[in-house]
Amino acid sequence: TLIVVTSDHAHVMSFSGYPIRGDDILAGDMVSNMDNISYTTISYANGPSAELNFTVRRDPQKADLKSDTYRYPSLVKLHAETHGGDDVGVFARGPYAHLFVGVYEQNVIPLTMGYAGDFGPTAKSSTQEEVVIVRQAVSAAPYFLPASFLTLCVALFVKLM
């Protein structure tokens, strides 16, 4: 059985500054060398906590950072924080797990799973090298993979023969 674990997206959360190992990333104990106001290790590129009109940053040390209602700083005002364009991790165990090493475009993951399980558009019907087959199938794509196929691939435990 091949087990593949991944996610479909990242978020626009970032880690700021150089926190000391072991520091609480939810605390606001680092201080900016530009305005001498503390800041949190965690911040967001967008979200509901952005200031539309401000002259001075809010000092997180004056807020209850442990409160369930505290919102970490964001740059762009939106109703909610959005997905980001970061790479996501792919972890695999079992037969053909060696095909899941590195960074991938999202469409490569289900195609590689299909190749490993011998189903879908990348089923093993050639004697070429494994990786070459998968890469050709992905780069040849003006074809469309239905969302149901992608969902099936992500949720499936592939039983190899």
Strands 83-84 and 10-11: antiparallel
Q: What is the 3-state secondary structure (H, E, C) of 37-65?
A: CEECCEEEEEECCCCCCCCCCCCHHHCCC
Taking the CA atoms of the chain, what radius of gyration do you get in angstroms?
Answer: 22
Q: Is 83 annotated as a binding residue?
A: yes
Q: Is 8 annotated as a binding residue?
A: yes
CB contact at 8 A, 73 and 43: yes
Q: Which residues are known binding-site members for Zn(2+)?
A: 8-9, 83
Which residues make up each annotated binding site?
8-9, 83
